Amino acid sequence: MAHAPATSHPLLRLGRLQLDSRLRALQAGSAAPDLVVTAAVPLPDSSGNPQYGFDVAWEDAVREAVGLGAEQSTAQALLRGSGDALGHGTRVVVAAHGEALLGRWISPAIAGNSVRVGPLPHLTDVAAAAAMRPAYVVVLADRDGADVIAHAAGSQLPAERFLVGNRARPAGRDHHDDLPPALHHGERHVTDREPESGGRPNAESIAGRVADAAAQVGAHVVLGVGDQHILDAVNGHLAGSIGPISAIDGAREPSGLDDHLRPAIGAALDDIASAAVSAVGDLVASLADGPNPAAVRGINAVAEQLAQQQVAVLLLAADISQDAVVGPSYRIGTRPTELLVGETDPGVEVPVEDGLVWAALQQDAIVVQLSDRAGALAGESAAALLRRGQAS
């Protein structure tokens, strides 16, 4: 069973969508050549030929995009970003000006089949999925050795192994070379006559590699598999912002990899990210009141803070698109972080949801989607946790 997920440092337990330079430089535009296509296509549930079904679904997405007003070259760029049917979940592709600017696999529970055409990319689903999949490190330790594996945020890049090396062994008459390595860790009734110092060098060595792996991918989440005594010993040498190690069911494989643990890892990350989202919601609820609030609620208040580049976490209700039916118009101003409310002259009119998320991602904010408007949102469709401790 996994340990209860930590709620300390909640922002460090969430991922964020990083815009590359081409997507970050995209300018909102309402003319046909400037329209952006965002398409989401789930991987077909087929044991026969999933690639064929995947290709057909993307051809359908191209035709739908053209029907919605996208230029042919931009719609065709979806095919270049779709890739092969080798991922998991739903493939999301953003295309503009005849180029595919983003291609990413996300959980099928977050997004279904859809094609959107507009002045901005529709990035809510991708950004919300990124929040639930932060970078993480897996440490597998048992009686015979240890493996440390680093995973970048979003799992878009191959995992990277960090070799632990030989276990340190203390000298002295109490040392037993015939004991398996794992018995150099843990409690005396488990380690027999091995002195307490026997486990420390080994635990420090493994913890050092975990720290190296975490630094490589910017991870603050560590999952552990194997001998609990070893994991506990390693945990004692990790910085608080990295640990604690969350134990999951499984065993270390001779391959030194963690592919066989994918379902358990996914479940553990869901628990950890959900706990972090809940903790952020509690922060918003506690900091939104008072003369100098460190959190704000409501689209207009959030838009003001986005324009000041003060938003650390953007919270959106899943049904925020309903707010576009009535109410003021929203426009992206001269800067991508500037979301203007009710303005008629400057900027380009955009859907409120796309404008909020676009402005948030331009300032490297975390985007969280909530199932309803209760709790942290207090009935509003948007809220924000601020960077500098109070609204500016």
Same domain for 157 and 75? no
pLDDT in tens, 31-79: 889 999 999 999 887 667 888 889 999 999 999 999 999 999 999 999 9
Q: Which two tokens stand for residue 123?
A: 């990035």
**Among 52, 84, 118, where does a domain finish?**
118
Is the pLDDT at 389 greater than 80, yes or no? no
Does residue 379 fall inside a structural domain?
A: yes
pLDDT in tens, 184-243: 544 443 444 434 444 667 888 899 999 999 999 999 999 999 988 889 989 999 988 887
Is the pLDDT at 156 greater than 80, yes or no? no
Please choose, from the candidates 94, 99, 88, the residue with its C-alpha nearest in 3D space to the C-alpha of residue 120.
Answer: 94
**Among 118, 146, 175, where does a domain finish?**
118
One-letter-per-residue 3-state SS of 348-373:
EECCHHHHHHHHHHHCCCEEEEECCC
Does residue 102 fall inside a structural domain?
A: yes
At 44, is the secondary structure helix, strand, or coil?
A: coil
Tally of domains in the chain: 3
Same domain for 142 and 41? no
Does residue 318 fall inside a structural domain?
A: yes
Start-to-end CA span in the chain (Å): 44
CATH number of domain containing 338: 3.30.1330.30
Does residue 91 fall inside a structural domain?
A: yes
Residue 157 — pLDDT band, cuts 50, 70, 90? low
Mean pLDDT for 71-95 is 92
**Chain centroid to CA 25:** 22
DSSP codes of every residue in 306-331: HHTT-EEEEEEETTGGGGGTSS--EE
Is the pLDDT at 179 greater than 70, yes or no? no
Same domain for 211 and 305? no
Same domain for 333 and 232? no
Query: Residues 92, 110: contact at Cβ < 8 Å?
Result: no
* Beta partners for residue 296, in sequence order: 384
Same domain for 197 and 227? yes
Does residue 43 fall inside a structural domain?
A: yes
**What are the CA-CA distances from residue 34 to residues 22, 42, 98, 260 (Å)?**
14, 26, 10, 44
Please choose, from the candidates 32, 102, 84, 94, the residue with its C-alpha nearest in 3D space to the C-alpha of residue 61.
Answer: 94
Tell me what the pLDDT averaged over the chain comes to.
85
Q: Which amino acid is present at 128?
A: A
Does residue 65 fall inside a structural domain?
A: yes
Please choose, from the candidates 263, 15, 22, 11, the residue with its C-alpha nearest in 3D space to the C-alpha of residue 128.
Answer: 15
Provide the pLDDT for residue 161.
85
**Among 55, 87, 118, where does a domain finish?**
118
Same domain for 69 and 159? no
**Alpha carbon distance 60, 55 (integer Å):** 9
At 35, is the secondary structure helix, strand, or coil?
A: coil
Total-model pTM: 0.85
Provide the pLDDT for residue 175.
43
What domain range includes position 304? 278-386
Same domain for 283 and 237? no
CA angle 19, 313, 311 (to 5 degrees): 85
pLDDT in tens, 96-141: 999 999 999 887 656 568 999 999 999 999 999 999 999 999 999 9
Most distant CA atoms of the chain, gap in Å: 84
CATH number of domain containing 238: 3.30.420.60
Does residue 25 fall inside a structural domain?
A: no
- Strand-pair category, 339-341 with 160-162: unpaired
Residue 322 — pLDDT band, cuts 50, 70, 90? confident
User: Tokens 């402005």 correspond to what residue?
Assistant: 359
Please choose, from the candidates 43, 71, 61, the residue with its C-alpha nearest in 3D space to the C-alpha of residue 116.
Answer: 61
Residue 173 — pLDDT band, cuts 50, 70, 90? very low
Same domain for 194 and 250? yes
Query: Residues 203, 185: contact at Cβ < 8 Å?
Result: yes
- Cis before residue 195, ω within 30 degrees of 0? no
Does residue 175 fall inside a structural domain?
A: yes
Phi, psi of 116 (to 5 degrees): -125, 140
Instruction: Give start and end residues of each alpha helix (H) in the chain.
Output: 21-24, 50-67, 72-82, 124-131, 188-191, 199-217, 228-235, 262-287, 299-307, 352-362
Most confident by average pLDDT, 171-175, 229-233, 287-291: 229-233
**Alpha carbon distance 71, 37 (integer Å):** 9
Same domain for 228 and 336? no
Same domain for 292 and 344? yes
Q: Which two tokens stand for residue 108?
A: 């099928």
Same domain for 113 and 172? no
Same domain for 142 and 109? no
Q: Which two tokens stand for residue 186?
A: 């843990």
At 140, is the secondary structure helix, strand, or coil?
A: strand
CA angle 288, 293, 296 (to 5 degrees): 50
CA angle 118, 121, 125 (to 5 degrees): 125
